[in-house]
Homo-oligomer: A and B are copies of this chain.
Amino acid sequence: MQENDSNKATVVQPDYSAAIAALKARFAKQLSTNATIREQHGHTMTWLTNQPPDAVLTAYDKHEVAAAVAICNKHKMPVIAFGIGSSLEGQLNAPYGGLCIDMHAMDAILQVHNEDLTVTVQPGVTREQLNHYLRDTGLFFPIDPGANASIGGMVATRASGTNAVRYGTMKDVVLALEVVTASGEIIRTGTRAKKSAAGYDLTRLMIGSEGTLGIVTEVTLKLFGISECIGSGLCHFPSIEEACQAVMLTIQMCLPIARIELLDSLQVKACNRYANLDLLETPTLFVEFHGTEASVREQAESFNEIIREFNGTDFVWDTNEAERKRLWQARHNAYHASSALRPEASALSTDACVPISGLAECVSATAKDIEESGMLGPIVGHVGDGNFHVLLLVDTDNPEEVATADAIISRLAVRAIEMDGTCTGEHGIGQGKQKYMAQEHGNAVAMMQAIKAALDPNNILNPGKIWPQPLSIND
């Protein structure tokens, strides 16, 4: 198991028994210290060591969250909010112990304002639950990370997904938040107005802060109308460079594409095996257009002209819903399909994002790096945003493989940063990517840390995340 500064199983931690007793007195059976439950709330999605919290609280409303945080603050005990546990960089580990607040029971959809295209939800609502709820309104919520993540978790990690190229990321679709601060106060950031120039943008400050500045207890989101016509299809390319070049030209020509996803040959092969498909096993783009029937047709025709320039196969597309769902199911199964290529290994997902002009170069160099390492590592990506993922299939009990994988991830992060991109487009920093913060942000990290220290002086909110060192844990 790999460890870094804030992922050490051996940190000596203070005695939190007084805090736990106070929580027990307040919350009785809602609080659990059962070892299995604690371990389930630690982190398991990477090779990082599972670091369970000392106790797990199931919260049912904002006042319970506020009361629990106030107790933690009084006792200077760490507190970590938990949605469904699908974060990918160790965001949920408890390297200094403390309380995990499980938000899954706060799953009410509080207000839908169809006429304003907004909805207010509790943080435990999942993205699929929300879209299921909206199914008869003609509206939808577009942000779709791979997992059926909770909305609260998606706020915390600034999530995005396949629709981001058209509809933006969490930073673009959140109008307002309700947040429990480190001292246990409840604040509101923003209103339901579409724009405002009234004071600091606390909403955007909270989004992507990974639970280190506050715990989200309500989220007001923008919704979007489901287009009259949706056309989906795919096309294959002789090389990954040509596929990426087609994406670059599509973006540069400002084609209002709704989704444009790359799967490399290995990923297509994995999908074929997993779902018994017969796709051509070359680099492939999955594409979707939203609009009126006429405009979808126009967009598809323009796209076809673009891909021909890069030796793509004819763009085969359809507006039939069943066909579209079948196609995107294959894309959404990418993680499981890849895992099945080597079932005994762990599938470790990393991501990076570069300016679109660097896409072909960055993806090609990464593919070459993986190939030379001898590892299995399919590439999939939200390439319209310059964002892509590598899914490395690693035997985490084999230190040599772990080191090889870690080196590939490092080289990718550095490669992206050197191209004026970022070490993570949508997974976040957590514990796994702390070592790239200084290279990406330079002395701006000190400004982030000053904000953290101001808003959480006892460093109780998810300590040991984003930064390589705890700030001043229980000094």
Contact = CB atoms under 8 A, between A and B. Distances in A.
Contacts of A385: 194-195
Given A199-B466, A450-B454, A466-B199, A194 B355 contact: yes
Interface in A182-216: 185, 187-189, 191-202, 204-205, 207-209, 213
Interface string A168-191: 110110000000010001011101
A440 interface: yes
A7 interface: no
Contact of A191 (B158, B205, B440, B455): B440
A115 B198 contact: no
Contacts of A189: 441, 444
Q: Which of A116, A117, A426 has the most CB of B within 10 A?
A: A116
A67 interface: no
Interface string A414-428: 001100111111111
A17 interface: no
A385 B202 CA distance: 20
Given A298-B295, A443-B185, A195 B164 contact: yes
Contact of A225 (B254, B355, B421): B254
A100 interface: no
Interface string A337-376: 0000000000000000111110000000000000000000
Nearest to A203: B204
Contact of A429 (B118, B191, B197, B429): B197
Q: How many copies does the complex hold?
A: 2
A137 B428 CA distance: 35
A201 to B, nearest CB: 5
Contacts of A172: 168, 172
Interface string A250-267: 011110000000000000
A48 interface: no
A174 to B, nearest CB: 11
Contacts of A453: 454
Interface string A426-467: 111100010011001111110110111111000000000010
Contacts of A440: 191, 198-199
Interface of A: 113-118, 157-160, 164, 168-169, 171-172, 181, 185, 187-189, 191-202, 204-205, 207-209, 213, 224-225, 227, 248, 251-254, 291-292, 294-295, 298, 353-357, 385-387, 416-417, 420-429, 433, 436-437, 440-445, 447-448, 450-455, 466
